[in-house]
Structures are given as structure tokens and as C-alpha cells.
Amino acid sequence: MWLEETSRAELDKSGHVVRVKGLTRDITRLKQSEKRQDLLSAELDHRVKNVLARVAAVVRHTRRRSATTDEFVGALDGRIQSIAAAHALLSQNRWHGVGLTDLIRHQLAPYATDANTAISGPDVMLTSAQTQAVAMVTHELATNAAKHGALLRPDGRVSVSWDRTDGDRLTITWREHGGEPITAPVQSGYGLSLIRDLIPHELGGTVDLTFPPDGACCKIEIRLNERK
């Protein structure tokens, strides 16, 4: 409990104290509010630093893998928009988490129609760290599908499904159908490296990305109870 005390002494003509008047106020709520503001400021500072570090890494690696300025600008814009969309969803939910369905729909929105995508799975809430990592990986998968895979063809189709196993394990499956026959890329670019490495590095999960002839397939597994 916090108390704030103020007082004033009344003196006689000779300067002796004859009376003291005081007021004691309960300022516990004010102090609790100040503490919450301090915590929010520290959390915001932490998140801003993380975002800037992530953007800096994206800029650096995108530039390294881009052959032309136009290619660099286009790839960088898409990746930053992906990060921004994930943060908008987190902000709407006061950073308590994001539903996986909403996240996938937002990341597929620039490329998807009702005819070329299918999304299915139980209600799952992701933490902020899981939201940001899954968003970036989904963006790279969608971008690759639009440039080289199923979303490049009018009759191509992408399905994203997920399921919970053993209570706290989440398996997300990205599957492409109807694209051009493909083979695994000989040289892995930044986008493919991000798909394979980001989830294991940041969430301790696993990623299995394969390229069967009928379309790319990516299986992601993470633990839902991880609080990173």
C-alpha cells in the first residue's frame, strides 16, 4: 500500500508551532498504474528492438540474394508487409496471441482466391513468437508458389491444414497441387533457407520441405506450450 502525506505547520507570533494540519492520501492505484506503464514501456522497447533486428536481417539477406534493384525492392516489400500483417493481428489481440486460421488467411490474401486455396484445421492460438515465425514461413511458401509453383497456374491449388497431436504438438501441412512438374532447387536461396531454418532456430520445431513432381510440400511441427 502506498500513502502520500502532506502537512503544514501553523506558528504563533513568536515562531512556535501551535498546530499541524496534514492530509494522507491512498495513492496505491496510481503507483500500480505507473508500474504497469513502466512494464509496458519496457515490453514495447523490447519488441521494437526485435522487429528492427528482424527487418535488418531481412534487408541484408534479401539484398545479398537479389540480382537487380527491382527484384530486391519487390522481395523486401513483400517480406516487410508479411511482418507488418502479423504485428497488426497481434496488436488487435493485445499481444495475447493470434488464431492460426486468421494468420494463414492474412498471409495468403495477396495471392489467394476461394478457387485456388483451401484452409482447414481446429482452433489454435499461437504465441507472439510463434505468430511471427509462422507468418514469415507462410509468406515465403506463398511467394514461391506464386513465382514457381501451384499459384502460377490458373488450375493450381494450395491447401494448408493443421492438427494437434499429443495435446500440445501442432503439425501444419502446406501442399501444392496442379502446378508445373518441379524438382528441388539445386541452390537454396534466402527464402528456402528461411523456410527450413527459422522454425527450428526460433521455436525449436521441425520443418520438412520436399519437392515431389506434383507440387511442393512442407510439414511444420511445433510445440504449442512453448512460451518463447
* pLDDT greater than 70 at residue 10: yes
**Environment class of residue 110 by beta-carbon count within 10 Å: exposed (0-12), middle (13-18) or buried (19+)?**
middle
* pLDDT greater than 70 at residue 165: yes
Residue with cell 522454425: 199
Residue 228 is predicted with a pLDDT of: 47
Q: How far apart are alpha carbons 53 and 47 in whole angstroms?
A: 10
Residue 186 is predicted with a pLDDT of: 44
Residue 164 is predicted with a pLDDT of: 92
Q: How many Cα atoms sit within 13 Å of 162 on the Cβ side? A: 24
Query: What percent of the chain has a predicted confidence (pLDDT) above 70?
Result: 95
Amino acid at 47: R
pLDDT bin (cut points 50, 70, 90) of residue 115 is confident
Query: Is 34 in contact with 4 (CB distance < 8 Å)?
Result: no
Residue of higher predicted confidence among 119 and 183: 119
pLDDT bin (cut points 50, 70, 90) of residue 198 is very high
* DSSP 8-state assignment for residue 186: S
- For the ranges 75-84, 87-96, 158-167, 199-208, which has the lowest average pLDDT? 87-96
Tell me the per-residue pLDDT of 58-85, one tens digit each, with 9 for 90 and over: 898 888 878 889 989 999 999 999 999 9
Helix (H, G, I), strand (E, B) or coil at 169: strand
Q: What is the DSSP string of 135-162?
A: HHHHHHHHHHHHHTSGGGSTT-EEEEEE
Average pLDDT score over the chain: 88
Residue 161 is predicted with a pLDDT of: 97
Q: How far apart are alpha carbons 203 and 228 in whole angstroms?
A: 7
* pLDDT greater than 90 at residue 101: yes
Domains of the chain: 55-223 (3.30.565.10)
User: In which element (H, E) is residue 128 found?
Assistant: helix 128-147
Q: How far apart are alpha carbons 179 and 111 in whole angstroms?
A: 15
Average pLDDT over residues 212-225: 90
* pLDDT greater than 70 at residue 226: no
* pLDDT greater than 60 at residue 187: no
* pLDDT greater than 50 at residue 195: yes
Amino acid at 124: V
Helix (H, G, I), strand (E, B) or coil at 188: coil
Average pLDDT over residues 147-160: 89
pLDDT bin (cut points 50, 70, 90) of residue 183 is low
Packed helices 128-147 and 190-203: angle between N→C axes, nearest 10 degrees: 160
